[in-house]
C-alpha cells in the first residue's frame, strides 16, 4: 500500500537524446533524495534492463514495462498518434489514464507527446486547449511560470483567461506561492496596447473578484526575468519566441564571456579570479537546473523533459513531476476554474 507521500510515475525511457542510459541514471539520482518515488518504466526491455543492472537500488522501486515501438524525434504527431498504443510514450500516458500511474514523464517528441496526451487524457471541463508551461529563472526570489510556450499559436480571450487560472494554480503547486502575481505579456504596459483579445482578457481579469492570484496588468518581454511577476500568460506563438530568445541570449552571453576571458593572458588570469562567480553564473543559466514543462489543462499530469537534458536535468523533471502529483494539481485547477467561472460576470466566458 502506497503512503500519501509516494508518487508513481510512468516514465518513457526511450525519449530524449540519451535514451535509457540517461533516463535510468536520472531515476536512480532522484530516488536517492526521494525514497518515496516509484516508477513504471516503458521501453525496450533489453536496453532498459541493462541500464537498471547498473543501479541495483532501483529494483524495489521500478517495474519494467516492455514497449515494442518508439516515437522518433522527427515523427509527425498524426503518425505518432496512430502508433501510440504500442509505443513507450503512448503506453506511459495510457498508464495515467488507467490509474496505473499518477503522472507520466517523457523527453520525447513534444508535438507527439501533446497529441497523444490530449487523445488519451482529454481536456478538463472548462478548458479548451492545453498550454505548455514551464518555470523560467528570474532575478527575483523565485522563478516565473510562463504559458503558453508553443502548444497554441493563436489564442482568444477565453484561452488566455483559462491559462491564467491554470498558471496561478501551477505556481501555487510548483513554487508554493499562495497568491501569485499574474501578468499578461504585451508590447506595452498601457491598457490600450495589444490585441483585442489581450485587452478583453485583461479587462475580465481586472474586474473578476478572486483570491487565486493578483492580476498586476501587462508586462513587456524585457521584464520576464526581473522577478516582477510570478505567472506570465501569453499565446503559444509569442511565448515560444520569447522562450527561444531567452535561451539564445543565455548562450550568447555565456559564449561571449568565454571568448572574452580567453582573449589574452591578462584575461585568462582574470578568469581564474572570477571562476567561482562564473561557475555560479553557468549554474544559474543551465537549463538542466530548470528542466520540466507540463501540458496544463489535461485530465492528468504529463511532464516534458528537454530532449538534450543530462542526468541531473531529467532528475529535476522527476522531482517536479512528484511535486505536482503530491499537490493534487489537476483537482486544484478544477476547483479554481469553478470558483473563477462562478464569479466572472462575462457570460461568454462561462458558456
Would residue 323 count as lying in a domain? no
Helical H segments across the chain, by residue range: 19-33, 45-52, 77-82, 88-98, 110-121, 157-175, 196-207, 236-261, 265-285, 311-326, 329-343, 347-350
Q: What is the DSSP letter of 199?
A: H
* Host domain of residue 271: 137-288+342-351
Would residue 23 count as lying in a domain? no
Total domains present in the chain: 1
CATH number, domain at 255? 3.40.718.10
Q: What is the pLDDT along the chain (351 residues), one digit of tens a residue?
A: 355 588 999 999 998 889 999 999 999 999 999 999 999 999 999 999 999 999 999 999 999 999 999 998 888 988 888 989 999 999 999 999 999 999 999 999 999 999 999 999 999 988 898 999 999 988 888 899 999 898 888 899 999 999 999 999 999 988 889 899 999 999 999 988 999 999 999 998 888 666 678 999 999 999 998 999 999 999 999 999 998 888 888 788 778 877 777 777 777 776 666 667 666 666 666 777 788 899 999 999 999 998 889 999 999 999 999 999 999 999 888 888 877 776 665 555 554
Q: Is the dihedral of CA 302, 308, 311, 312 positive or negative?
A: negative
Would residue 242 count as lying in a domain? yes
Residues 205, 255: contact at Cβ < 8 Å? no
Neighbours of 98 (CB within 10 A): 10
Would residue 180 count as lying in a domain? yes
Radius of gyration of the chain, Cα coordinates, nearest whole angstrom: 21
Global confidence as pTM = 0.87
Closest to 250 (Cα-Cα) out of 134, 110, 137: 137
Would residue 249 count as lying in a domain? yes
Closest to 163 (Cα-Cα) out of 333, 299, 33, 348: 333
Would residue 188 count as lying in a domain? yes
Would residue 191 count as lying in a domain? yes
Who's near 209: CB < 8 A, 6+ residues apart?
343
Rounded distance, CA 167 to CA 149, Å? 12
Preceding omega of 120 cis (within 30 degrees of 0) = no
Quick one: pLDDT at residue 1?
39
Quick one: pLDDT at residue 234?
95
Would residue 69 count as lying in a domain? no
Amino acid at each position: 500500500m502506497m503512503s500519501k507521500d509516494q508518487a508513481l510515475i510512468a516514465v518513457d525511457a526511450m525519449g530524449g537524446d540519451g535514451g535509457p542510459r540517461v533516463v535510468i541514471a536520472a531515476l536512480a539520482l532522484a530516488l536517492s533524495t526521494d525514497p518515496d518515488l516509484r516508477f513504471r518504466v516503458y521501453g525496450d526491455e533489453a536496453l532498459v534492463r541493462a541500464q537498471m543492472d547498473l543501479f541495483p537500488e532501483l529494483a524495489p522501486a521500478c517495474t519494467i514495462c516492455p514497449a515494442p515501438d518508439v516515437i522518433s524525434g522527427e515523427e509527425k504527431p498524426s503518425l505518432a498518434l496512430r502508433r501510440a498504443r504500442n509505443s513507450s510514450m503512448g503506453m506511459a500516458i495510457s498508464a495515467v489514464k488507467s490509474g496505473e500511474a499518477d503522472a507520466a514523464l517523457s523527453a520525447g517528441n513534444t508535438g507527439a507527446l501533446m497529441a497523444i496526451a490530449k487523445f488519451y487524457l482529454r481536456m478538463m471541463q472548462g478548458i479548451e486547449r492545453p498550454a505548455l508551461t514551464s518555470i523560467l529563472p528570474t532575478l527575483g526570489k523565485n522563478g516565473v511560470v510562463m504559458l503558453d510556450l508553443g502548444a497554441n499559436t493563436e489564442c482568444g480571450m477565453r484561452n488566455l483567461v483559462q491559462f491564467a487560472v491554470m498558471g496561478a494554480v501551477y505556481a501555487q503547486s510548483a513554487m508554493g506561492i499562495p497568491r501569485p502575481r499574474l501578468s499578461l505579456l504585451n508590447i506595452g504596459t498601457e491598457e490600450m496596447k495589444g490585441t483585442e483579445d489581450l485587452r478583453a482578457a485583461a479587462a475580465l481579469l481586472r474586474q473578476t473578484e478572486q483570491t487565486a492570484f493578483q492580476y498586476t496588468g501587462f508586462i513587456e518581454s524585457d521584464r520576464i526575468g526581473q522577478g516582477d511577476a510570478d505567472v506570465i500568460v501569453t499565446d503559444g506563438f509569442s511565448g515560444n519566441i520569447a522562450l527561444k530568445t531567452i535561451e539564445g541570449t543565455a548562450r550568447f552571453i555565456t559564449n561571449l564571456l568565454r571568448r572574452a576571458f580567453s582573449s589574452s593572458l591578462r584575461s585568462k588570469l582574470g578568469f581564474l579570479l572570477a571562476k567561482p562567480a562564473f561557475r555560479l553564473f553557468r549554474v544559474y543559466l543551465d537549463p538542466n537546473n530548470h528542466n520540466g514543462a507540463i501540458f496544463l489543462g489535461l485530465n492528468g499530469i504529463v511532464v516534458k523533459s528537454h530532449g538534450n537534458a543530462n542526468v541531473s536535468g531529467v532528475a529535476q523533471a522527476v522531482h517536479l513531476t512528484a511535486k505536482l502529483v503530491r499537490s493534487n494539481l489537476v483537482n486544484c485547477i478544477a476547483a479554481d476554474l469553478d470558483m473563477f467561472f462562478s464569479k466572472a460576470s462575462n457570460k461568454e466566458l462561462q458558456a
